Amino acid sequence: MILPNILTVLLRIPGLLFAISVHEAAHGYVAYLQGDDLPKRQGRITLNPLPHIDIFGIIALMLFGFGWAKPVVTDPRNYKNPKVGMGLTALAGPVANILSAIVFAIVLKYIDKYNLVSNRYVLIMLQQAYLINVYLAIFNLLPIPPLDGSKILFIFAPVKYIEFYYRFELIGQIILIACIFFAPYLLSFVLQPIAYFVFTFIDFILKLFP
Protein backbone atom coordinates (compact mmCIF):
# COMPACT_ATOMS: atom_id res chain seq x y z
CA MET A 1 0.00 0.00 0.00
CA ILE A 2 1.19 3.52 -0.79
CA LEU A 3 0.60 5.61 2.32
CA PRO A 4 0.58 9.43 2.38
CA ASN A 5 3.24 11.28 4.32
CA ILE A 6 2.52 12.40 7.88
CA LEU A 7 2.02 16.05 6.93
CA THR A 8 -0.63 15.17 4.35
CA VAL A 9 -2.42 12.97 6.90
CA LEU A 10 -2.45 15.80 9.43
CA LEU A 11 -3.74 18.29 6.87
CA ARG A 12 -6.59 15.92 6.05
CA ILE A 13 -7.94 15.97 9.60
CA PRO A 14 -10.05 19.20 9.42
CA GLY A 15 -11.59 18.17 6.10
CA LEU A 16 -12.42 14.64 7.17
CA LEU A 17 -13.94 15.76 10.48
CA PHE A 18 -16.15 18.19 8.57
CA ALA A 19 -17.02 15.61 5.91
CA ILE A 20 -18.17 12.90 8.32
CA SER A 21 -20.06 15.45 10.42
CA VAL A 22 -22.04 16.92 7.53
CA HIS A 23 -22.63 13.41 6.16
CA GLU A 24 -24.10 11.98 9.34
CA ALA A 25 -25.93 15.17 10.35
CA ALA A 26 -27.66 15.06 6.95
CA HIS A 27 -28.78 11.47 7.60
CA GLY A 28 -30.19 12.45 10.97
CA TYR A 29 -31.87 15.62 9.73
CA VAL A 30 -33.66 13.92 6.82
CA ALA A 31 -34.82 11.15 9.18
CA TYR A 32 -36.09 13.85 11.55
CA LEU A 33 -37.96 15.59 8.71
CA GLN A 34 -39.74 12.30 8.03
CA GLY A 35 -40.95 11.96 11.61
CA ASP A 36 -38.12 10.02 13.26
CA ASP A 37 -36.68 11.95 16.21
CA LEU A 38 -34.33 9.14 17.29
CA PRO A 39 -31.22 10.72 15.66
CA LYS A 40 -32.02 14.02 17.39
CA ARG A 41 -32.44 12.34 20.77
CA GLN A 42 -29.09 10.61 20.25
CA GLY A 43 -27.38 13.90 19.45
CA ARG A 44 -26.54 13.00 15.85
CA ILE A 45 -27.99 16.07 14.14
CA THR A 46 -24.88 18.10 14.79
CA LEU A 47 -21.69 19.24 13.06
CA ASN A 48 -19.73 18.28 16.18
CA PRO A 49 -17.61 15.37 14.87
CA LEU A 50 -17.26 13.54 18.19
CA PRO A 51 -20.64 11.71 18.12
CA HIS A 52 -19.98 10.60 14.53
CA ILE A 53 -16.47 9.15 14.75
CA ASP A 54 -15.85 5.49 13.87
CA ILE A 55 -12.19 4.79 14.60
CA PHE A 56 -11.59 2.38 11.69
CA GLY A 57 -13.47 4.57 9.24
CA ILE A 58 -11.46 7.61 10.36
CA ILE A 59 -8.17 5.76 9.92
CA ALA A 60 -9.23 4.73 6.39
CA LEU A 61 -10.19 8.32 5.59
CA MET A 62 -6.88 9.68 6.88
CA LEU A 63 -4.77 7.16 4.99
CA PHE A 64 -6.70 6.65 1.76
CA GLY A 65 -9.14 9.55 1.45
CA PHE A 66 -12.25 7.35 1.74
CA GLY A 67 -13.95 5.66 4.65
CA TRP A 68 -17.02 5.90 6.86
CA ALA A 69 -18.40 7.29 10.11
CA LYS A 70 -20.51 5.80 12.89
CA PRO A 71 -23.89 5.05 11.29
CA VAL A 72 -26.88 7.12 12.40
CA VAL A 73 -29.46 4.84 13.97
CA THR A 74 -33.00 5.47 12.77
CA ASP A 75 -36.36 3.85 13.41
CA PRO A 76 -38.09 3.22 10.05
CA ARG A 77 -41.37 2.58 11.88
CA ASN A 78 -41.62 6.36 12.39
CA TYR A 79 -41.51 7.07 8.65
CA LYS A 80 -44.71 7.59 6.70
CA ASN A 81 -43.23 5.29 4.06
CA PRO A 82 -40.49 3.18 5.73
CA LYS A 83 -39.13 1.72 2.50
CA VAL A 84 -38.73 5.05 0.71
CA GLY A 85 -37.80 6.82 3.94
CA MET A 86 -34.79 4.60 4.55
CA GLY A 87 -33.58 5.23 1.01
CA LEU A 88 -33.98 9.01 1.24
CA THR A 89 -32.24 9.11 4.61
CA ALA A 90 -29.34 7.11 3.19
CA LEU A 91 -29.13 9.34 0.10
CA ALA A 92 -28.90 12.49 2.24
CA GLY A 93 -25.34 11.78 3.42
CA PRO A 94 -23.66 11.45 0.00
CA VAL A 95 -25.68 14.39 -1.35
CA ALA A 96 -24.50 16.56 1.55
CA ASN A 97 -20.89 15.60 0.78
CA ILE A 98 -21.24 16.38 -2.93
CA LEU A 99 -22.76 19.77 -2.11
CA SER A 100 -19.93 20.42 0.35
CA ALA A 101 -17.39 19.44 -2.31
CA ILE A 102 -18.97 21.92 -4.72
CA VAL A 103 -18.63 24.68 -2.11
CA PHE A 104 -14.96 23.82 -1.52
CA ALA A 105 -14.38 23.75 -5.29
CA ILE A 106 -15.90 27.22 -5.68
CA VAL A 107 -13.78 28.55 -2.80
CA LEU A 108 -10.64 27.06 -4.36
CA LYS A 109 -11.55 28.54 -7.74
CA TYR A 110 -11.76 32.08 -6.39
CA ILE A 111 -8.69 31.64 -4.20
CA ASP A 112 -6.75 30.69 -7.31
CA LYS A 113 -8.36 33.39 -9.47
CA TYR A 114 -7.71 36.26 -7.08
CA ASN A 115 -4.67 34.82 -5.26
CA LEU A 116 -6.48 35.18 -1.92
CA VAL A 117 -4.39 32.65 0.05
CA SER A 118 -0.65 32.31 -0.15
CA ASN A 119 -0.17 29.75 2.63
CA ARG A 120 0.33 26.41 0.87
CA TYR A 121 -0.79 24.42 3.90
CA VAL A 122 -4.16 26.16 3.97
CA LEU A 123 -4.53 25.41 0.28
CA ILE A 124 -3.68 21.75 0.84
CA MET A 125 -6.25 21.55 3.66
CA LEU A 126 -8.94 22.96 1.40
CA GLN A 127 -7.95 20.66 -1.46
CA GLN A 128 -8.01 17.65 0.86
CA ALA A 129 -11.41 18.68 2.23
CA TYR A 130 -12.70 18.87 -1.35
CA LEU A 131 -11.35 15.44 -2.27
CA ILE A 132 -12.43 13.75 0.96
CA ASN A 133 -16.01 14.95 0.52
CA VAL A 134 -16.06 13.57 -3.02
CA TYR A 135 -14.59 10.19 -2.13
CA LEU A 136 -16.62 9.82 1.07
CA ALA A 137 -19.77 10.31 -1.00
CA ILE A 138 -18.66 7.88 -3.71
CA PHE A 139 -17.48 5.22 -1.28
CA ASN A 140 -20.74 5.35 0.66
CA LEU A 141 -22.73 4.97 -2.55
CA LEU A 142 -21.29 1.49 -3.09
CA PRO A 143 -24.12 -1.07 -2.70
CA ILE A 144 -22.35 -2.92 0.13
CA PRO A 145 -24.13 -3.24 3.50
CA PRO A 146 -24.08 -1.20 5.67
CA LEU A 147 -23.03 1.60 3.27
CA ASP A 148 -25.63 4.09 2.04
CA GLY A 149 -25.72 2.68 -1.48
CA SER A 150 -27.24 -0.55 -0.25
CA LYS A 151 -30.00 1.35 1.58
CA ILE A 152 -30.72 3.69 -1.32
CA LEU A 153 -31.75 0.58 -3.25
CA PHE A 154 -34.59 0.23 -0.71
CA ILE A 155 -36.47 2.85 -2.74
CA PHE A 156 -36.64 0.59 -5.79
CA ALA A 157 -36.04 -2.91 -4.44
CA PRO A 158 -38.68 -5.49 -3.51
CA VAL A 159 -39.16 -6.53 0.10
CA LYS A 160 -37.02 -9.62 -0.52
CA TYR A 161 -33.99 -7.35 -1.05
CA ILE A 162 -34.53 -5.74 2.37
CA GLU A 163 -34.63 -9.17 3.99
CA PHE A 164 -31.43 -10.09 2.11
CA TYR A 165 -29.80 -6.84 3.30
CA TYR A 166 -30.31 -7.53 6.97
CA ARG A 167 -29.31 -11.17 6.59
CA PHE A 168 -25.96 -10.37 4.96
CA GLU A 169 -25.11 -7.07 6.68
CA LEU A 170 -22.29 -8.72 8.68
CA ILE A 171 -20.71 -10.04 5.46
CA GLY A 172 -20.81 -6.49 4.10
CA GLN A 173 -18.86 -5.25 7.12
CA ILE A 174 -16.18 -7.87 6.44
CA ILE A 175 -16.01 -6.64 2.84
CA LEU A 176 -15.46 -3.10 4.13
CA ILE A 177 -12.49 -4.23 6.20
CA ALA A 178 -11.09 -5.99 3.12
CA CYS A 179 -11.47 -2.71 1.21
CA ILE A 180 -8.92 -1.11 3.53
CA PHE A 181 -6.28 -3.68 2.65
CA PHE A 182 -7.03 -3.51 -1.07
CA ALA A 183 -7.43 0.28 -1.12
CA PRO A 184 -5.20 0.97 -4.17
CA TYR A 185 -7.15 -1.52 -6.30
CA LEU A 186 -10.49 -0.19 -5.04
CA LEU A 187 -9.44 3.35 -5.93
CA SER A 188 -8.16 2.40 -9.37
CA PHE A 189 -10.86 0.07 -10.61
CA VAL A 190 -14.02 1.06 -8.70
CA LEU A 191 -13.90 4.55 -7.23
CA GLN A 192 -11.85 6.38 -9.86
CA PRO A 193 -14.24 5.74 -12.78
CA ILE A 194 -17.16 6.96 -10.64
CA ALA A 195 -15.09 9.90 -9.39
CA TYR A 196 -14.45 10.94 -12.99
CA PHE A 197 -18.15 11.59 -13.54
CA VAL A 198 -18.48 13.40 -10.21
CA PHE A 199 -15.49 15.65 -10.95
CA THR A 200 -16.88 16.32 -14.43
CA PHE A 201 -20.20 17.35 -12.89
CA ILE A 202 -18.46 19.65 -10.40
CA ASP A 203 -16.39 21.20 -13.21
CA PHE A 204 -19.65 21.92 -15.04
CA ILE A 205 -21.03 23.66 -11.94
CA LEU A 206 -17.83 25.71 -11.58
CA LYS A 207 -18.21 27.03 -15.13
CA LEU A 208 -21.48 28.62 -14.04
CA PHE A 209 -19.54 30.90 -11.68
CA PRO A 210 -17.67 33.83 -13.30
Write down the pLDDT at residue 177. Answer: 65
Q: How many CA atoms lie within 13 A of 115 on its CB side?
A: 0
Residues 6+ apart with CB under 8 A from 37: 78
pLDDT class of 71 with cuts at 50, 70, 90? confident
155, with CB counted inside 10 A (0-12, 13-18, 19+), is: middle
pLDDT in tens, 79-107: 888 888 989 999 999 999 999 999 999 99
pLDDT in tens, 128-171: 999 999 989 998 888 877 788 888 887 887 766 666 666 666 66
Global pTM reads 0.86
Q: Which of 21, 24, 90, 133 is catalytic?
A: 24
Does the annotation count 24 as an active-site position?
Answer: yes
pLDDT in tens, 176-193: 666 666 655 666 677 788
> Over the chain, what is the mean pLDDT?
85
Q: Domain boundaries in the chain?
A: 6-206
